[in-house]
């Protein structure tokens, strides 16, 4: 199968591309605009694979999208290209509306035009897989509010109630994808995942930010009391799940993907500190505790901050046989070790030097 992956130089997208090329026989067309969070260094290990092609294209460019479909003739689309950082969406929602909603519309239209002209056998086999987030569901009751009670989880039928410009833009794109199946018959699949973590994540998200700040002796910022709960999913487990869905999922279905790891943000930061205390002990001034946990700083909470997300991944486990391979403890240790071993990569993505070196200073 030849798969067009949008956003394939991003954090989750690059994990999907590496998995497809390293662990399957599928071919990949990686389409990425290469904004600040897209980095080709995450794909160096597979860039010479004869089954790999890269296209630097913005999904909002309708002409270029039509060219890509006509040239590469994909059998499926895995749509991961998105603006995804909640804080950035609060500061400036325009880019999120443009990429996540308008871009998805343009991609859908290019895919629909291409799909409608395929021979019947290829038309029946074609798939459009839209990768979304659990944040579209809003938030769930918190244990502090209902002590001792069994708390609900997000299921595939949970009503949408997005809280941020980011999650609202993703909710809008989800609705577009489903409408394109209902109205036009485009064979779509939708997945909604929990918080991802792992190698190659841009250092603005919680886990890499805490790791790198700790190593530099900087404050470890936590919103409010750090009581917000998230379900954490190791990115390589997510990549495996996505490939299961695109190859074996039923068109028209939604699959929730979670890691079975509900943790408060404060618990996550303390777990990172404990691993760093073991692997790279911090030297403190005489008479002071040397633990990295002493760098924890509580800051004002962000507007509209959801308190709890939690995924029921029973459907994908029952129907497609997928389960996460990593526990939170094993996945977090791998992640911390990767950032310790790849601090130069972090420097490259933060200052943009790698992109300029590969693509030329005027390319991005």
Quick check: is 326 catalytic? no
The three-class DSSP label of residue 245 is helix
Cα distances (Å, whole numbers) of residue 83 to 4, 68, 86, 101? 19, 21, 9, 10
Q: What is residue 142's three-state secondary structure?
A: coil
Six-digit token string for 331: 């996945």
Instruction: Please identify which of the residues 52, 105, 166, 339 carries the catalytic annotation.
Output: 166
Taking CA 154 as the corner, what is the angle to CA 151 and CA 160, rounded to the nearest 5 degrees? Answer: 125
Rg (CA), the chain: 20
Q: Is 144 a catalytic residue?
A: no
Structure tokens at 173: 């794109």
User: Annotated catalytic residue: which of 32, 41, 135, 306?
Assistant: 135
**CA-to-CA separations, 77 to 41, 73, 112, 271, 288, in angstroms, rounded:** 23, 11, 11, 37, 54
Burial class for 32, CB neighbours closer than 10 Å (0-12, 13-18, 19+): buried
Cβ-based neighbour number of residue 310 at 10 Å? 21
Give the DSSP H or E segment for 78: strand 76-79
d(CA 309, CA 154): 7
Question: Which residue in the list 41, 58, 83, 134 is annotated as catalytic?
Answer: 134
Of 64, 61, 8, give the one whose Cα is nearest residue 37. Answer: 8
Q: Could you confirm whether 354 is annotated as catalytic?
A: no
Residues marked active site are found at 134-135, 166
């Amino acid at each position: 199968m030849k798969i067009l992956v949008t956003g394939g130089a991003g954090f989750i997208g690059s994990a999907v591309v590496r998995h497809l090329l390293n662990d399957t026989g599928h071919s990949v067309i990686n389409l990425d605009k290469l904004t600040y969070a897209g980095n080709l260094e995450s794909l160096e290990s597979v860039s010479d694979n004869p089954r790999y092609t890269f296209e630097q294209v913005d999904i909002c460019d309708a002409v270029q999208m039509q060219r890509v479909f006509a040239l590469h003739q994909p059998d499926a689309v895995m749509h991961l290209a998105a603006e995804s950082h909640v804080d950035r969406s609060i500061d400036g929602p325009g880019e999120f509306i443009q990429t996540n909603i308008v871009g998805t519309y343009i991609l859908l239209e290019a895919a629909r035009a291409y799909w409608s002209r395929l021979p019947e056998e290829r038309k029946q086999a074609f798939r459009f897989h839209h990768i979304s987030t659990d944040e579209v569901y809003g938030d769930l009751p918190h244990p502090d509010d209902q002590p001792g009670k069994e708390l609900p989880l997000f299921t595939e039928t949970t009503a949408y109630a997005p809280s941020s410009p980011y999650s609202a833009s993703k909710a809008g794109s989800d609705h577009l994808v489903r409408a394109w199946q209902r109205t036009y018959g485009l064979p779509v699949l939708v997945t909604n995942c929990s918080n991802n973590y792992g190698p190659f994540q841009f250092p603005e998200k919680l886990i890499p930010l805490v790791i790198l700040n700790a190593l530099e002796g900087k404050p470890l910022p936590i919103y409010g009391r750090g009581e917000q709960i998230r379900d954490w999913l190791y990115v390589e487990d997510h990549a495996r799940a996505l490939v299961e869905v695109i190859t074996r999922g039923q068109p028209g279905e939604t699959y929730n993907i979670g890691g079975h790891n509900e943790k408060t943000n404060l618990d996550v930061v303390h777990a990172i500190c404990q691993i760093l205390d073991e692997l790279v002990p911090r030297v403190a001034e005489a008479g002071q505790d040397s633990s990295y946990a002493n760098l924890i700083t509580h800051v004002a909470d962000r507007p509209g901050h959801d308190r709890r997300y939690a995924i029921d991944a029973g459907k994908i486990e029952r129907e497609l046989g997928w389960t996460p391979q990593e526990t939170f403890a094993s996945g977090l240790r791998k992640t911390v070790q990767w950032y310790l071993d790849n601090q130069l990569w972090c420097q490259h993505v933060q200052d943009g030097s790698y992109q300029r070196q590969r693509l030329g200073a005027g390319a991005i």
